[in-house]
Structure formats: structure tokens, C-alpha cells
Amino acid sequence: MTKTKTKTAMPPAPPWHFVLHGGCAETCPDPQRQREISEQLHRVAGLVAKALTEGAQARDAVTLAVSALEDSPIFNAGHGAALNRNGIHQLEAAIVDGASGRYAAVGGVQATKNPIAAANALLERGSHTMLVGSGADEAAREFGLETVPNSYFTTPFRRAYWHQVVEQGLPQLGSEMGTVGAIVLDSQGRLAAGGSTGGPTGKLDGRIGDTAILGAGLYADANLAVLCSGAGDQILENLIASSVAKYHAAGATLSDAARKALRAMTAPGASCSLVALDAHGKLVVESTARLFSVASASSSEAPTAQLHPTTFPVLASHEFYSDHQLSIGLSRYPVTRGHALVTIKSGKALFSLEASEFTNAMTQVSTAVSLLTDHYQVERCALASNGADRLSLLPLHGLTKDWQAITSDIKEFHDNFPGYVSSKDGPMMEASRLDDICSRIRRISGLSSSPDYTFQGAQDDKNLFACIVRGELQQWRIWEDANHVAFLTPFANTPGFTVLVPRKHLSSDIFSIQEPSFSDLMLAAHRVAGYLKATFGAERCGMIFEGFEIDYAHVKLIPIHPVDAEFQVSETEDLVVTVAPIQDTYQGYVSSLDGPLCRDQESLKQATVDIKKKHNSLRERSIVRPPRSWASPPHHLSSVLHDPWYKKLFLAQDVLFHVSSNYFQKGLGYRYCLVPATTDAVSSPMGLGSDSEPVPVRFLDQETHLADSMQFSLEYFLRIHDGLPGVYYVNTSFRGEDPDAMHLNQFYHIECELLGPFSDGIKVAEGYVMRLVSALLEEHADAVESVAGTCDHLTSILELYRSHGGRFPSVSVDDALNLPGMNQDCWKYVIPSDASKGRALTRAGELKLIEHFGGAVWLQEMDHLSVPFYQAFLDNSGTKARCADLLIGNGEVLGLGERHVQAEEVLSALKMHDVPAEGYAWYTEMREHKPILTTGWGMGIERFLAWVFQHNDIRDMTIVPRMKGYSFAP
């Protein structure tokens, strides 16, 4: 019998990750230099990947990577570094070990071949953290490192640039590409980061920048590492790297932390790029610069290198329009005066939007176009997009009021995507190729072999497109519907270039077309773009509006063809970045390219201010205001029937109810409870911690109360079926104090009680609020904007939630009271005469917290005597409650708490709050029967909708009011 040896499976090698960068720039290197940068980064990435595969440690791999980049003449570090004002190279480098927190740096180095090696040796063997000048070079010699004459660092490229800047006095066009750095996460889970630079050309003798300074240009700890490149003095001033770490530690995602830190870089031309890598291998690249050269790899992914475009296409100081979907602002890389960029906030590609989203976006773009044409006094604007998440709006200068054909003789053709789309004609395509392309698209679009040649206009209209619609000319029609026709142009600059026209002769100025024709044309464009994407296997489709070849409405749709393999260079992303020249007047074509950096950033800011002021003025005039008819009950009924405010409110109430039902029933499996309007046991009795005044009534000859909440009933219902995950209701509640801007006598609650602890309640409540906000944005953004003037508060809440890792920020009462600015107006004693009973926040304090935390915050761990008795104790001391208030808008919107499990705990709390126990005997008895752990919360519907409407008086948030001292019909 033969014995077979069983091989023991080897465990997989521990993962590693790294990222390299070759600096950022506002200028665009020539195509050859772009390729060289990518090739060098890719080459060094291969060296680092090999070393890490063989078990190299993080700090050693960083030193290897940065040394190799220093040895390349391409980068502004080591051999290839910039010269200072005196024509001397003074280099700096730093390294930080995240595992130990140790850091070392050298600056003003003039003879050490590899400054990063000197920094690493100083960290290992030196007695100081930083050395500069001749002392750093001398230490490097003592460490046995190679030294070279200062001329070694000079290259013809750097010398020529030094002559331009220093001797000829030409201005530097933004930051120079070339600072290098590396972050490594090794197989042991250790992070390290290091960087090296020659600094800016023409810098003063002795200048030290951000690259050498911990917290400014680099940072690493056990959780993440950050490297920066760009305007070093501003990066140093704002401590960008440590800011990323600070925001990340506070709960922001790595990407959001990076973006928040970069928003501090607002000075004109003060660009900054950064890479960040966390202990889980999550890589983030964010940049306010035009280009940022980066390479990365991991144990599971081969090295790639790429010139990253800016991730901040529009700076905050240049934005003049923002809604839940779009950000629109002036480009700092304009191809013409007034060039604006539209950014899709979700990051989706243009035609990856749902049809309704796309149409809504184009309607808002049309609003922005009207602002641009008014401000720059032009007849119309063109639109150009390569189909990604950006669109260019281009004021067409130099036009007359009367349409005249303006064309360009420049032709181009690309089988594959060159990095941009253009309206330039191509050479006439062979009919056989057009036939083939047309046939392929028609198989997808389903166009009949017997097209409809109906033209919705004068039959003697000789316009080219009118003739094509009527079928009078040879054409390659690919799709049609009752109102539109799409066909291939024989003068395409890429295969599949399509023209979409309406059957009616409408203006060639697309943005002047009235509704519903405009929206119909946009829906048709969305549909045809989908066919083009499907036919060519394209992820995107470009789009251009222009209109100066044919005076007839037409949309140009350009499939973005995948790049062929031979176009790639050693696995780098080799799409060469091209810069378009500035055009003072319209030249007969447009493209999606950016232009050079605008040198007059202040004029951009001022133009933004002026355009925004115009937009705000128009928006202000259109906002629906509340009629405040509750103050005049006899007129309230007619006001509700006719005033648009109440139409919007009715819609919002309907959305809230149906979203609630879907969320709880379909999403969570909760059951609905039918609860009475009266109760003998109010949930906020008169006692310590009561936050409302009961409403006593005589009903059927019995003394009882109108319910301030039926939360107790929810606790009861939850115990009917064992294992039921939760119960909920939407119902009327009552309170007895005088009504004011924050209180109503009759209001509406959405309340739920769920099986589980406090943390589960927080998760369910946050999910509910996010579902509501998303529904309002997705389905009723126009209605919200019509009353609030904006949807920014809704998108900001979504962003706040997402940036904190899918949760809202939280703070305990004690910590809140210690925050800056929380003065005596922000809190009060529960019992004014007895400080030992604890403190509670006032409305002023709640508003301070909302502002401090960016729009929403959970206030937790309240003093128990400041809340109702039914909230569970935080611990055995009994002084704090395991509860929370969600503060949004005007203050508390949602209250949440874990409940007492045992009857004894309820009795103890009743006694502590000075509430007679006999009225709550059934409440304690319920726990004797079924002592389960539950958490409940309730949200005031009027308070929530007041925030949605950005209104500060909830008396305007009810359609049929019931208020003390007033009588309303019905």
C-alpha cells in the first residue's frame, strides 16, 4: 500500500501596501516629461514591491523608495533638485516611523547624495531629531553615507528653469512637480513615511519647508500615515498632515479628513496634494493642484502609476451655485473668460445618473448658464463634458445677436479616447464603416427598418437637420421616438459620434429651449447615450451643446472608447494631459479640456461674489414664505387651501409618513401599533426630569390625560410577541404649556421601541433620519428648495453622517459644558436651588453644540434628574442616564433612551424623581412578567420639518393647529 504525503497548506503571506508620489504642479509638463515621470514612478514601485515581497520593513522600504526617486533626474529631489536664489542646491528630507512615533529630518543639505538616507541614519543612530546645513552633511559622512559635489544635483532642466525665474524674473506658475515621498505599510502592519525635496526654485538661502517638518509635510502613527506636496510654506503654516490625522481621529473617514484639511489651502496658487494610507491599506489621494504624480501597489495589486488630476475642480471661493446634486463654480483653469465647471457631487459619471437625476441636473445647469450669460454679457454658453462627473460651461464671446455660422477648419480623429472630447470635425468617414457602426447601434436601440420621417414643422424648411428628419438626405439613423431623431455624423472625430435632434425646428441655443421640450430632449439624450455605451462597451459618453454649424437644436453625443493595450506604457495610466489655449472669442469649436492656471485669482473670486449675489437675489424672490395664519384663526382655513406654504408642508408630511412605514415595516420588520389618545400614566409626569406639562381631561366621567407620548404602550406591545424586533407608530401627542416657537399643544410623534441596547437604538434612529433626508433629496428637492431656499442643509447632514463613518458625532453633557464658548447662558441647574441635582443644557447651549459639531450631534449621558424617570441608569451610581437627544436645526429633534429592565430599577427611579409609584404599578408589573432590554425613541415631526424647511417657528408647521387660547376649523 502506497502512502501519500499530504502537503500542509501554507498560510497566505501577510498583506503589504505602499504609495509613492513624485510631487504636484499647477503647470502641465510636456508629453514626454509626463511619460518619464510615470515611467520612473512605475520603475521605483517595482523595486519597492520586490523588497516588500522579500520581507522588507516599512522604514527600510521608505528609504529605498525615496532614495531611488532622489537618484532620478526627473524629480525635484536629489539629482534633479531645484536651485535656490544663489544657484545652490539645499535639500531637505524627513522620515517618520509610525510604529514607534520616532522621526528625524535633515535640511539645508548640500553634499549628501541621498538626504532621505541621512534622515534615516539620524533616526537610527543620531542623538538629535533634526540637523541642518553643514552639520547635516558632516553627520552623513560620519554615518558612512555617500557625499557628492553640489553640482551633482544640477540638471539642464533645473538650470534652465532657474535662469527663467531668478535671472529673467519670470513668475513661477504655481508649485513645481518633483517633491518625492513614500508611505509603506509592511507585512507586520507597521506604517512609515518619508519625503525629500529641493524646495522651490529661487528660494532664499536657509529656507526649510514642509517636507522636513513632522505634522506639516508628513505624519505617521500606528493608524495612518500622510505625505504632502505643494506650496510648502502654506502647508507648514496650516500643518496639513497632522490636520488629516486629527480629523480622522475625530471620526471622519480618511478621504473626508484629507479633504477637510486641504480646504485650509485657500491662498491663490497655494496648491497642495496629499497621499494618505491607513493601517488597513486604505489609500486616499486628494489634490488641489492640477496634477499629482502617484504610484501605488499592494501584495495583491501590481504597481500602477498615474498623473492624478485635481480632486477639487472648483475651489470653495469660486463656487456660485450648490444644491443637493451639483456644485457649480468658475474654473481656475479657464479656456475662456467665465469658464465654469459643474461637478456632480455623488461622483457618478454623467450618464450613470438615473434619467430623472440627469434631467434635473441639466435643468439646474440651465439656471447657471443664465447667470453666466448675464454676468459676462454673452449671447449663449456652450457645454462640453467627457462624460465623467464634470461638465464645462463656456461663455461664447464675440457673437452677434443674429445667428451666423462659425466653423473651424481644424480636424482631428481618434479611434480611442485621447483624454478629452471635442466638437472639431473629423475627416469624412467611409460609408462602409458608417454602415457597420450604424448597424451595431441599431441592434441595441431596436430602430425599425422603416424609420418615421415625420417632421413637426414647415415641409419647405431647408435646414440640413430638417431634411434629415424628413429622410430627404443620405443618413445613418440609429434611433428615433415620436419627437426626436439620432444619427451618426459622417464627419465624426471618433467612431459613433452621434447627433440628436428634435423633430421640431427649435433654437440651436439648447439652454434657451422652453419646457417641456428641453426636458424631453434631455431624456432623449440620456437614452441615446445609454445605447452608445452599450454598443461600444464604454463606461461613459461625452456630450456637447454648441450650435454654430447648423442653426437647429442638436446634442452631440460621443462614446468614450476604452484605451487599447498598446496605448499603455508599462502599466501606467498613460493618457497624456493636454492644456487648451485661452480663447478670447469663440473659434468654431469647444472641448472638455482645461486651460492654463488663471493668474488673477482675485478677479475670479470677485466674479464669483457678483454671480452668487445675483443668484441669491433671484432665489430670495422665489422662496415661499409662511403666511403665519395660525395667528389669525378665522383666516387660517382659507390660507391652508390657497397658500403654497401649506401645499409644500402637506407633501412633506406625506413623504415622512410613507418613508416611516417603509423603513420600519419593510426594512426592519417592525409592527405598527394602534394606540389610544388618552392615558392614566403620562410618560413625563410632574416630577424631577419632566420636560412637559400633562393635559388632564375628563373622558367618559373619568379623570385621565391626553397622551404626551404613548411610549409606554410601545413597551407593552413589544412584549406581546417574544422576539419581535420592534414596534412603532405615527400619532398625535399633547402637552399643556403655552405654545411658542418650539412647543405646540398638539403635535405629532414618530416613535419606536426596539429590542436591544442603547447602541442599537442609535443605529436605528440614525438610519431613519438618513432615510428621510435621502427621500426628500431624491424625490422632493425642488419643493424643499422652494421653501428653504437651498438643500445644502440636507446634503450637509448626509455628508456629516458619512464623514463620521456612518454615524453622527456625539458628546456627553459633561464634555459639552467644557467646550469653548459654553457660557452661563448655555446651561442651567435642574433645581436652581440645589446644584447637586445636576445640570441641563438650555436651547442656547443646544444651538452652540449644533454649530460646533457641524449641523448635528447626539447629546448623551445626561444627569438623570434632568430627564424623565424611565431612562435607564448609565451605571450603578444612578447619577447619569443612558439616553441621548439628537440636536439638529433649532435644537432637540429626537429623544432616545434605553429603558429599565427590572421592576426594582423603575421603582428606584420613581422615588429618585419624586414621582408617586402607584400611578405606574402596571409599568413595573410589566417588567415582572417580561424583563427584557429595550430602547425607544421619538421624533417630533413638526420640529424635524421645521429644520427641513429651515424655519424657526413650529407653529407654522401644522396644517390643523390646536393651541391653547385659539380655536381653529376644522
Measuring CA to CA, how many Å separate 346 from each of 90, 313, 399?
Answer: 44, 14, 35
Query: What backbone phi and psi angles, to 5 degrees, belong to 228?
Result: -120, 160
Measuring CA to CA, how many Å separate 46 from each of 39, 49, 181, 192, 450?
Answer: 11, 5, 15, 18, 58
Measuring CA to CA, how many Å separate 611 from each of 361, 370, 381?
Answer: 19, 10, 15
Q: Any bridge partners for residue 328, and if so which?
A: 321, 342
Check residue 350 and report its DSSP letter: G
Q: Any bridge partners for residue 278, and if so which?
A: 224
Cell numbers that stand for 293 in this block: 504624480
The count of other CB atoms within 10 Å of the CB of residue 632 is 11
Residues 6 or more apart in contact with residue 571 via CB below 8 angstroms: 42, 302, 303, 304, 305
**Is residue 353 a contact partner of residue 387, using CB atoms and an 8 Å limit?**
no
Q: Which helix (H) or strand (E) holds 508?
A: none
The half-sphere exposure of 698 on its side-chain side, counting CA atoms within 13 A, is 1
Q: Any bridge partners for residue 277, and if so which?
A: 225, 283
Q: Which helix (H) or strand (E) holds 441?
A: helix 431-445
The count of other CB atoms within 10 Å of the CB of residue 419 is 16
Measuring CA to CA, how many Å separate 91 from each of 88, 147, 181, 199?
Answer: 10, 13, 14, 7
Q: Which residues are catalytic?
A: 179
The Cα–Cα gap between 620 and 806 comes to 34
51: left (phi over 0), alpha (psi -120 to 50) or beta: alpha
Which DSSP string corresponds to 821-870?
T--GGGEEEEETTEEEEEEEE-HHHHHHHHHHTTSEEEEE--BGGGS-TT
Check residue 435 and report its DSSP letter: H
- Helices 115-125, 58-71: crossing angle, 10 deg rounding: 150
Check residue 582 and report its DSSP letter: P
Among candidates 393, 263, 265, which has minimal Cα distance to 334?
393
Using CA atoms of 108, 111, 115, 120 in order, give the dihedral in degrees to the nearest 10: -110
Q: Which amino acid is at 183?
A: I
**Is residue 343 a contact partner of residue 390, using CB atoms and an 8 Å limit?**
yes
Residues 6 or more apart in contact with residue 210 via CB below 8 angstroms: 216, 217, 228, 232, 233, 235, 236, 240, 241
Query: What backbone phi and psi angles, to 5 degrees, belong to 190?
Result: -95, 140
Q: Is 450 exposed, middle or buried (0-12, 13-18, 19+ CB in 10 A)?
A: exposed
The Cα–Cα gap between 576 and 396 comes to 27
Cell numbers that stand for 823 in this block: 457660557
**Is residue 633 a contact partner of residue 966, using CB atoms and an 8 Å limit?**
yes
The Cα–Cα gap between 28 and 449 comes to 49
Among candidates 764, 532, 537, which has minimal Cα distance to 663?
764
The Cα–Cα gap between 691 and 892 comes to 12
The Cα–Cα gap between 226 and 210 comes to 12
